[in-house]
Amino acid sequence: MTRFHWVRHGPTHARAMVGWSDLPADLSDTSALARLSGFLPQAPVISSTLSRAVTTADAIIGPRMRLPHDPDLREINFGAWELQRATEVTDQEHIRRYWEEPGDIAPPGGESWNRICARVNRAVDRLLGHSDIIIVAHFGVILTQVQRALGISAYDAFAHKIDPLSVTEVSFDGAWSAGRINHRP
């Protein structure tokens, strides 16, 4: 059995769609980071290549083994919508469909929900075999695995809240299952 302990990176305080932009995480809440580190098992830590995930992983690492960053764990590529608020996107019909009918619809120059799921699933499948693993990643990335573990639609997965510095637990033991979602230690 492999237990995945998904940690969302520290807050960026951005009020826009932040995908592949490399915004830093606010890691000033050292008490929250200490609680998070103390809550997590002694297991290898891996993160996305984006600095907000890398620095969060570094802040909670303690004596744990650090695995190389994985670009397949990056957030959704929002393409032309990057760093815009949903209301600022010119084609409102397109963005509405992107969120309401997630699947093959993609932002201009970005990736669809199905593409991010395939990318993240590849990364996760490479990690099967560890008994426990801590993955520091992003909102969309974590939701792909909530969808996978619960066997729900992408639209239903988007209904889950994933706060910064929260832990979501997903396991694989011949079948996918979810434990705590959006747990704040």
**Ordered DSSP codes for 61-87:** -TTSPBPPP-GGGPPP--GGGTT--GG
Domain count across the chain: 1
Smallest Cα–Cα separation from 132: which of 44, 54, 29? Answer: 44
Residue 11: phi, psi to the nearest 5?
A: -65, 150
Residue 44 lies in a domain: yes
Residue 131 lies in a domain: yes
**Would you state the pLDDT for residue 141?**
98
**Would you state the pLDDT for residue 134?**
98
Residue 106 lies in a domain: no
Angle between helices 51-60 and 30-39 (to 10 degrees): 70
0.95 surpassed by pTM: yes
Residues of the chain with pLDDT under 70: none
Residue 146 lies in a domain: yes
Query: How many residues are there in the chain?
Result: 185
Residue 100 lies in a domain: no
Smallest Cα–Cα separation from 77: which of 120, 130, 29? Answer: 120
**Would you state the pLDDT for residue 118?**
98
**Would you state the pLDDT for residue 46?**
98
Angle between helices 139-150 and 113-127 (to 10 degrees): 80
Domain that holds residue 45: 2-77+112-178
Mean pLDDT (the chain, rounded) = 97
Residue 82 lies in a domain: no
* Alpha carbon 22 to its chain's center: 14
Q: For the domain that residue 152 is a member of, what is the CATH number?
A: 3.40.50.1240
**Would you state the pLDDT for residue 32?**
98
Residue 73 lies in a domain: yes
Residue 50 lies in a domain: yes
**Would you state the pLDDT for residue 75?**
98
